[in-house]
Amino acid sequence: MSHATDPTMTAAAQDNATIRSPMRDFWQAFIQNPLALVSGGFILLLVLVAAFAPWLAPYNPMDPDWMALSAPPSASHWMGTDDLGRDVMSRIIYGSRISLYIGLFSVTLGMVVGIVLGLLAGFYGRWIDMLIMRSADVLFAFPGMLLAIAVVAILGPGLNNVIIAVAVFSVPVFARIVRASALTLKQAAYVEAVRSAGAPDRILLIRHILPATLPNVIVYFTMRIGTSILTAASLSFIGLGPEPDVPEWGNILAMSRSMMMAGQWHVSVFPGLAIFFTVLSFNLLGDALRDTLDPKLKNA
Q: What total of structural domains would you count in the chain?
A: 1
Q: What is the pLDDT of residue 44?
A: 94
Residue 137 placed within a domain = yes
Residue 68 placed within a domain = no
Tell me, what CATH number does 245's domain have? 1.10.3720.10
d(CA 223, CA 235): 19
Collapsing DSSP to helix, strand or coil, 87 comes out as strand
Residues 6+ apart with CB under 8 A from 79: 73, 87, 88, 89, 92, 266, 270
Contact status, residue 274 vs residue 113, Cβ threshold 8 Å: no
Contact status, residue 238 vs residue 152, Cβ threshold 8 Å: no
d(CA 232, CA 224): 12
Rounded to the nearest 10°, the torsion over CA 280, 238, 49, 267 is 100
Residue 155 placed within a domain = yes
Q: Tens-of-pLDDT digits for all 300 residues of the chain?
A: 445 545 544 544 444 444 556 667 667 766 777 888 888 899 999 999 999 999 999 998 888 888 888 788 888 888 888 888 889 999 999 999 999 999 999 999 999 999 999 988 888 878 888 998 888 888 888 777 888 888 888 888 888 888 888 888 888 889 998 988 888 887 777 777 777 777 777 787 888 788 888 888 888 899 899 989 998 888 888 888 888 788 889 888 888 777 766 667 778 889 999 999 999 999 998 888 887 766 554 544
Residue 6 placed within a domain = no
Residue 70 placed within a domain = no
- Of 221, 231, 232, 234, nearest to 285 by C-alpha is 221
Helices first, then strands: H and E counts in the chain:
16, 0
Contact status, residue 272 vs residue 255, Cβ threshold 8 Å: no
Q: Give the largest Cα separation in the chain, rounded.
A: 87
Q: What is the pLDDT of residue 202?
A: 78
Residue 161 placed within a domain = yes
Residues 6+ apart with CB under 8 A from 27: none
d(CA 252, CA 232): 12
Q: What is the pLDDT of residue 100?
A: 93
Residues 6+ apart with CB under 8 A from 146: none
Residue 61 placed within a domain = no
Structural domain range at position 115:
48-55+77-295
Contact status, residue 285 vs residue 40, Cβ threshold 8 Å: yes
- Of 136, 207, 211, 223, nearest to 181 by C-alpha is 211
